[in-house]
Chains A and B, each alone.
Chain A
């Protein structure tokens, strides 16, 4: 089946620094990728839709200048959390649409802890 990887799997950083998370589709091309955030014991909240070669579409309430998304190729999307603060600590998961229509394949997630 389709495989999506994420890097890093976990990261700890100081408040005020920026963190980049990569999402790759390993064996298929994904024109659309999605970025989610999941707080402990909560559901997945869609942050943005990443489209290859165009600007990302952000959900209401998500700051596009704080969460920079770049989808430079059909296999790679990156999420950069700029000037991270402790409240940004969360589990960030990407997914890529591939195969059957609308079916999403999730990456393993990145656990971000901001001190």
Chain B
């Protein structure tokens, strides 16, 4: 298995633009998680899905952030409009059971 796949690996955009991050979980995993990593706050859970259904989105910072999981093999995290303070590394992880497997992350820079 290729593991969790995220795209793009790097994204540079200007303030106000829409950003869409993509994730393909490991086949057979029924849970999917979006995290944001910053120096100050470490790894923060933004949202997680179980069987494609959002279970907990209490970590989503603002209404500018939204996430979808239209099927078991694909999820998106969208920021609209983006702001410089959204600059961070965004990780997607999937799990079947207790262990979460992380993708390589998307480094987002908002100018």
Q: Do A and B come from one complex?
A: no
